[in-house]
């Protein structure tokens, strides 16, 4: 791990040791297991993962005492460990890259195509470092324009970051995982940017950028359709492309990780800006949504944009939709706004259904091992009985090992 990544790891681990002692003491629990079982037990269980008959949407009650503690821990890590990066000199990078111009208004510069047979899989520290060192760079393994899809993985995978995100930060784990598994992987930034923050512009315009990029990927690979994996706005925006820009015939599956399908409250929008500002130490404009970038207001619950997008269920026949969300999401509020209405081509998955000790939130979810396992399953065998390895996963900190 690089110096920046190691520093973040030490800071994170120090905070975890202190916070764990406090969490256990506050809950009057003598063992980690009994504490976790107390705060994470589901209220009720209904059916299966797939939509239609027996849709798997378990509902949980948030512990009034535990959620503030998680929020406090998240804020502490973002502030203390994120600021640690801001005081460090920017190192040089020696990774081999292949520049690719999309010709579409999309940023695909610095596309990283490794000559290694097995790419290392990053974590949130890797993402933070890359966002500071090379915010316009692309994740490892992406944008290999000579890649030919195999019979086992016939659909190229396009990765789409969220609001205020970037490909450099978001996909340091999933992109190399997919590349190592034999997929053709592609990435681009969209929606304009303020410093390292992308995805700020009008959602419809961003969907047009996606449309152009899909056309380029299909022409390059010879494939008939693509799979799309998106985080936050990146899980919602492609639906506009599918429904309103004639993209349905070109998309096989859309996997949304904490997607803003039904939008979020103003508190959730403010939380997103606050989280990223703490992580990278970059001040952001604050105020009501009318004073924020276009994509913020369009993702507010009940906006005219989302009302039109979700009319009639918000899905298209022939496209499969998989939505993965954490009940501890502090940005998509309530967390069930990530889900789409029950249908035969819709899967709505709450992480805690598969791993009750997964406390990941909106930013950390793209590095969450349970989420990554579910994404790989959806793009691959799509086995309804798949169970990802379960571990203790804390906000931003990530996995502490299988249990």
How far apart CA 319 and CA 296 sit, in angstroms, is 26
Res 314 pLDDT > 80: yes
| Structural domains of the chain in order of their starting residue, each with its CATH number | 3-402 (3.40.50.1820)
Mean pLDDT of 61-67: 37
Contact, 225 vs 348, CB < 8 A? no
pLDDT at 64: 34
Q: What is the pLDDT of residue 391?
A: 86
In this prediction, residue 117 carries a pLDDT of: 66
Least confident of 15-19, 127-131, 152-156: 15-19
Q: Which two tokens stand for residue 45?
A: 């269980």
> In this structure, how many other beta carbons lie within 10 angstroms of the beta carbon of residue 345?
17
pLDDT tens digits, one per residue of 166-224:
999 999 999 999 999 999 999 999 999 888 889 999 999 999 999 999 999 999 999 99
Side-chain half-sphere CA neighbours of 400 within 13 A: 17
Q: Rounded CA gap, 310 and 239, in Å?
A: 9
- Percent pLDDT > 90 in the chain is 54
* Phi (first) and psi of residue 3, to 5 degrees: -60, -45
Please say whether the beta carbons of 223 and 197 come within 8 A.
Answer: no
Whether 372 shows a pLDDT value over 90: the answer reads yes
pLDDT tens digits, one per residue of 278-308: 554 555 444 444 456 788 889 988 899 999 9
124-133 and 3-26 helices, crossing angle to 10°: 140
Q: Which of helix, strand or coil describes residue 177?
A: helix
Which neighbouring-strand residues pair with 348? 323
Span 234-255, pLDDT tens digits:
999 999 999 999 999 999 999 9
**What are the residue ranges of helices labelled H in 226-355?**
233-244, 266-280, 294-298, 304-309, 351-354
The residue ranking higher by pLDDT, 67 or 337, is 337
| CB contact burial 349-359 (16+ within 10 A = b; e otherwise) | bbbbbbbbbbb
- Angstrom distance (rounded) from CA 346 to CA 389: 23
- Token pair listed for 272: 């997103």
* pLDDT the model gives residue 398: 79
Euclidean distance between CA atoms 343 and 323, whole angstroms: 12
For residue range 136-151, list pLDDT tens digits in order.
999 999 999 999 999 9
Q: Is 346 helix (H, G, I), strand (E, B) or coil?
A: strand
- More confident site: 334 or 84: 334
9-19 pLDDT, tens digit per residue, is 556 555 545 54
Going from the C-alpha of 332 to that of each of 12, 231, 286, 350, the distances in angstroms are 24, 11, 18, 13
Model pLDDT for residues 23-36, shown as the tens digit of each residue? 445 444 434 444 34
Instruction: Give residue 58's pLDDT.
Output: 34
Whether 66 has a pLDDT exceeding 50, the answer reads: no
Strands (E), 318-397: 320-325, 346-350, 391-394
């Amino acid at each position: 791990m690089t110096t920046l990544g190691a520093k973040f790891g030490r800071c994170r681990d120090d905070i975890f040791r202190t916070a764990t002692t406090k969490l256990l003491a506050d809950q009057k629990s003598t063992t980690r297991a009994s504490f976790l079982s107390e705060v994470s037990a589901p209220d009720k269980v209904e059916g299966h993962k797939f939509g239609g008959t027996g849709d798997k949407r378990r509902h949980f009650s948030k512990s009034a005492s535990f959620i503030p503690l998680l929020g406090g821990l998240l804020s502490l890590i973002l502030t203390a460990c994120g600021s640690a990066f801001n005081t460090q000199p920017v190192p040089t990078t020696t990774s081999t890259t292949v520049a690719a111009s999309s010709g579409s208004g999309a940023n695909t510069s610095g596309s990283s195509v490794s000559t290694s047979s097995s790419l290392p899989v990053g974590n949130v520290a890797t993402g933070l470092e890359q966002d500071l060192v090379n915010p316009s760079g692309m994740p490892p393994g992406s944008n290999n324009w000579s890649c030919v899809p195999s019979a086992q993985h016939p659909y190229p995978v396009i990765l789409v970051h969220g609001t205020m995100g970037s490909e450099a930060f978001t996909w340091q784990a999933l992109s190399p995982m997919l590349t190592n598994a034999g997929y053709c992987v592609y990435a681009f930034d969209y929606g304009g940017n303020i410093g390292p923050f992308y995805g700020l512009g009008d959602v419809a315009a961003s969907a047009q950028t996606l449309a152009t990029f899909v056309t380029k990927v299909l022409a390059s690979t010879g494939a008939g359709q693509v799979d799309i994996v998106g985080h936050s706005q990146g899980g919602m925006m492609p639906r506009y492309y599918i429904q309103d820009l004639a993209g349905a015939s070109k998309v096989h599956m859309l996997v949304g990780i904490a997607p803003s399908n039904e939008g979020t409250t103003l508190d959730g929008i403010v939380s997103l800006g606050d989280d990223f500002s703490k992580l990278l130490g970059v001040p952001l404009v604050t105020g009501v949504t009318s004073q924020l970038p276009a994509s913020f207001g369009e993702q507010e619950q009940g906006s005219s944009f989302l009302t039109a997008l979700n009319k009639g269920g918000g899905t298209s026949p022939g496209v499969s939709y998989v939505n993965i969300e954490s009940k501890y999401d502090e940005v998509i509020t309530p967390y069930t706004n990530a889900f789409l209405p029950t249908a035969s081509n819709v899967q709505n998955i709450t992480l805690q259904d598969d791993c009750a000790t997964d406390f990941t939130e909106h930013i950390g979810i793209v590095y969450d091992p349970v989420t990554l396992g579910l994404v790989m399953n959806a793009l691959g065998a799509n086995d309804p009985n798949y169970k990802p390895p379960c571990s203790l996963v804390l906000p931003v900190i990530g996995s502490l090992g299988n249990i």
